[in-house]
Amino acid sequence: MQVLEKPVGIAVVPSRDGGPSIERETGLLVCHRLDRETSGCLVMARTPEGQRALSQAFAEGRIQKEYLAIIVGHVPASGEIDVPLGEWKRGRVQIGTGRAAKTRFEVRWRTKGRAGVLVSPLTGRTHQIRAHFSTLNAPLLGDPTYGGPAADRLYLHAWRVRLPSFDGEPETWVTSPIPPGFDG
């Protein structure tokens, strides 16, 4: 297993246009994905066996992920968003239909109509955090796809991941440095 620091702007898997990807550049195997615009902790595998074990751990919810996001709007100090997410259409997921999706959040700071939020997805759906916050009328900064204002980047960062015990190794948290601009 390998945890990488994924930068903004590079895909995890090769895109149709043949551009660069983490998978192609490293030769490591994908266990989960982050959007091209999202930075932070990315768990990859070195072997097909490792990929199967990690993918299963993600599917079973044994790997916990925490993200940092900046939202535009007002949300309660903490809460849980429980809205199903569906198929991909016209560059975004369908909201309110499809598979169950749950996201917990806690506001860390507020200023001038924005908030820094610690986010824990309890399921792993495509665009889950982005779509869920749009349902609260509090889209992510830099996410025009779901109603957020344009910015220099998408303000979503995979801050830390908790890896369960594998092969006798202890459970561990891996943390990614917080990028500039996420501190309010």
160: domain CATH number? 3.30.2350.10
Please check the confidence at residue 59 and state whether its pLDDT lies above 80: yes
* Residue 91: predicted pLDDT: 86
DSSP 64-103: EEEEEEEEES---SEEEEE--EEEEETTEEEESSSB--EE
Does some domain include residue 183? no
What is the tally of structural domains in the chain?
A: 1
Does some domain include residue 181? no
Average pLDDT in the chain: 94
pLDDT tens for 67-87 read 999 999 999 999 999 999 999
* Residue 8: predicted pLDDT: 96
Does some domain include residue 184? no
- Residue-range definition of the domain harbouring residue 136: 2-175
Instruction: Mean pLDDT check: name the lowest of 5-14, 31-40, 159-168.
Output: 159-168
Q: Which of 35, 82, 167, 183 is catalytic?
A: 35
Does some domain include residue 41? yes
| Residues sharing a CB contact under 8 Å with residue 164, sequence separation 6 or more, in sequence order | 57, 62, 63, 171
Does some domain include residue 180? no
**Is 35 assigned a catalytic role?**
yes
Does some domain include residue 182? no
